[in-house]
Each structure stands twice: as structure tokens, then as C-alpha cells.
Amino acid sequence: MPGIRWCTDPQHEYLMERLDNFIVARQSGRKAQKRFWSPVFKEYFTRWPLLPELVVVQDLDECVLEKGYTMTEAERKVYSAALEKRKEKIKTVLRYQMGKLVGDVGVSSGKRTAVTKATQHFVKIRSRCHQQAEVYYSLNKAKVDAAFEQEMADRKSSPGDEDGESEKESDEDSSSESSEDDEQRGGSTKTKKRKGEVHIRNRISRRMLAEASEEERQEIERIIDEEREDRAAQAAQDAVLVGLKRPPKARQESLQNAPGFMVANAQTLWDTSAAVTLQIAVAPDPLREGKLWSRVIGFGKGKDDLLFHQSYPNFQDEFVSPFYQWARQHIFTFDTPLPVVSPEDIGTFPDQQVEEEEPPTPSPEPVEAPACLSSTAGEDSRSASLPRLHRQSQWNRSVPPPPPPPKT
């Protein structure tokens, strides 16, 4: 089952109203992000002050709510820490909701040199086997770690340690910038420090491997050979398990990334060939036995600032419903329904749970997915803040749409 939401419904609605502006800011660069967060935080904490919450949970005394009261140094530290923690939670909500729409960030603010995480899910990256030094470390972790700790201690105790000074300066400089800036630069100071430590540990492992006995080397080669065989067997299995043969959990993981993947492909087609696209996807629902999952993704707005499926009359009856019914009648005709995700695995998918009741019959106009938590009217009211070409409409249907009315 999904986790318990920390914010109230009004707070969540307030954040969702600013989701589109957040997406634009993330795609525009660091300065746009800073301009976005300042008024959002100011209005949020004006509507929902944090001090009363801290008093309720007894982190602060009631005296802090008195008019004209000056907090002590200890009280200021508690309040500042809680304030920063709440800001990070707010950022996490918008990042997560953005990820459900466009596959998360990971796209550079300049040229689109990176792909979204949703796209990466569908791209099979060939990973390498472990190297000899890596296997040696896994077998002699305590020995290598002891040598690593000794080398780090020697570095700190040596006079004129430039590494320590530069680390301190980097920490001071980074304290004035937000985590958003760190993401745009390619990683925080802590991340760079961790990478440096990994490099040192790998160097120590290679040095110890060169001094290892012949028996240890043979054991390492045997482990690497087994890993190669396992990878080859897994690749052969993946080549066979495609489409309807894939297990329901794997299909559900792909369907969760499908909307972001479709948006990324549409964006790429526009960037490379100025092509506008309309995508309709139908698949067996891995969470509901005998039901179908569907999505509609449009890319490219007209002069009326609407997508094709928003401006075309009776789009659902003339396009989506026939395709949906054709897929059910000619492709997904199962005498025995496909297996669904087991109850113990449902909780591993965020914001997913089996619905016991059938959803209402869809309206003639597409309704945005539950991920956006808004109706068609809400979609129109928020579309002006999005880039002109980027807009999607999606919904999840568990029952076949009604046939179009007879023409008189």
C-alpha cells in the first residue's frame, strides 16, 4: 500500500497548482528555480505557519506563539531545522509528481544531452562484469578498509595537506547554494568526496591484488567466470520473455514509466524533425484482472493553445473508443486472464492499489490522470503556464468505453 501523505489535502492541492510552473523552472535553469521557490515558500508558510505545529508536537513551548516573544538560541535552532526539513519535503513532493508526468529530471537546461529516467527504463544498457580488483575487495573487505583508513589518516596528519583545505573551502562555498544548484552542476561536495574515496579504495584493492597469492587469483577468476555465465543466461531469458510473456510485476514497472517515455519520444521527434504527435496506448492492466490500461499522450499545441485531442470534437468516441475496442476484440482476447501482481508486491509500487469499485464511465473529453489530481477544467486553467508544445492528457480506464451513439 502507498505511504501516508505528510501534508493535508489543502496543502497538497496548493502544491499541485504550482506543479506546471515547477516543471518550467526545472527546464529553465538554476536562476529560474531560485525565483520559483522563494514566493512558493513565502506563501506556503503564510498559509500554514510551522510554529503551531512544533508546539503541538511539543518540540517548542507555547510561549513562542506569544506576540513579541524572542526565541532563544536553542529554540531558533529547532525552528530552523524544522523549517529546512519542511522545505525539503515540499521539494520532494513536486519532484516526485514531476517524475510521474515526464519521467523525472535528468535533462540538461541547455541542449537535451540527457534522457529522462523513464526513457532509461526502456533502454537496455549492457553492464560489464566485475573486475578482478572489485572481486578482491568483496572477498577481503575488512583488509582493504583497514588499509584505506590508514591511508586517509596519514593524509590528514601530513603537513600542508591541500586536499583538506580545498574540501573545507568547498563546503563553505556550497553552504550558500541550494541542492537544486548541486544537481545542475553535476553533484554536491559530498558526492565528489565520496567518488574520491572510492577511487582511493579501488587503487588500494589493485595494489593488494598484485601481491595476492595464486590461489586467491584463481578463486577470483572462477567468480568472474560464473558471473559471465549468469549474465549470458539472463540475457537469453530476457530475449524470450517479451510482451505478454513477461511477468506482471515487470509489466507494471514498465507501464509506470510509459507516460514519461512517450512524452520523451514526442519531445525528441519535435526537437529533431518538428513533428507533432498523438499516441494512444492500450495494454493489459497488471493490477486488475481482465482489465485494460490506456493512455493518450498529445504533443504540439495549435493557435488556440490546445492539443489536437483537446480541440477535436468527440475525440474519445471517434478515435480512442474504436482503438480500445479493437485491441480488446482482436489482441487481448484471453480465455484465461493474464496473471496480475501479487498482493504482497502491490505495495512496492508508489501510489498504486487495487480498486474494488469500477471507475465511472469516461466523459466525452479526456480527463487527466489521477497523478495530476485535477479535472479537465483544472487542466485548462493550468495549461497556460506550460511550454506551448508540452502538454499531455492521460487517464486510466478499467471498463470498455461505450459505443458511439447512432447517427441520425
The most confident of the ranges 63-72, 217-226, 308-317, 362-371 is: 217-226
Q: What is the pLDDT of residue 114?
A: 39
Task: Give the confidence band of 326 by pLDDT, cuts at 50, 70, 90.
Answer: very high
Task: Give the confidence band of 224 by pLDDT, cuts at 50, 70, 90.
Answer: very high
Q: What is the DSSP letter of 281?
A: E
Query: What is the percent of the chain with per-residue pLDDT over 90, rounded to a whole number?
Result: 20
Mean confidence (pLDDT) of the chain:
74
User: What is the mean predicted confidence (pLDDT) over 70-90?
Assistant: 91
- Is the separation of the CB atoms in 114 and 107 below 8 Å? yes
User: Between 334 and 177, where is the model more confident?
Assistant: 334
User: What is the mean predicted confidence (pLDDT) over 278-286?
Assistant: 91
Q: What is the DSSP letter of 60?
A: S
Q: Is the pLDDT of residue 176 over 90?
A: no
- Is the separation of the CB atoms in 281 and 373 below 8 Å? no
Task: Give the confidence band of 336 by pLDDT, cuts at 50, 70, 90.
Answer: low
Q: Is the pLDDT of residue 223 over 90?
A: yes
- Residue 180 backbone class (left: φ over 0; alpha: ψ -120 to 50; beta: rest): alpha
User: What is the mean predicted confidence (pLDDT) over 42-58?
Assistant: 91
Lowest-confidence range among 43-47, 135-139, 317-321, 354-358? 354-358
Q: Which parts of 50-161 fold into alpha helices (H)?
A: 51-56, 73-102, 117-122, 132-139, 141-157
Query: CA dist 209 to 110, 197, 203, 213, 214, Å?
Result: 43, 18, 10, 8, 10
Nearest to 403 by CA among 312, 316, 280, 311: 316
User: Between 307 and 347, where is the model more confident?
Assistant: 307
Q: What is the pLDDT of residue 374?
A: 28
Residues in contact with 111: Cβ distance below 8 Å, sequence separation at least 6, in sequence order:
none
User: What is the mean predicted confidence (pLDDT) over 64-88?
Assistant: 90
Task: Give the length of the chain.
Answer: 408
Q: What is the pLDDT of residue 208?
A: 92
Q: What are phi and psi of 279, to 5 degrees?
A: -120, 130
Q: Is the pLDDT of residue 37 over 90?
A: yes
DSSP characters for 213-255?
Answer: -HHHHHHHHHHHHHHHHHHHHHHHHHHHS-GGGS-HHHHHHHH
Q: What is the pLDDT of residue 323?
A: 93
Q: Is the pLDDT of residue 64 over 60?
A: yes
Q: What is the pLDDT of residue 213?
A: 92
Ranges of each domain in the chain: 9-102, 132-172+186-240, 247-385
Q: Which element (helix H / strand E) includes 299? A: strand 292-299
Q: Angle at the Cα of 110 (from 105 to 116), degrees rounded to 5?
A: 25
What is the distance between the alpha carbons of residues 29 and 376, in angstroms, rounded to a whole number? 30
What is the distance between the alpha carbons of residues 328 and 334, in angstroms, rounded to a whole number? 9
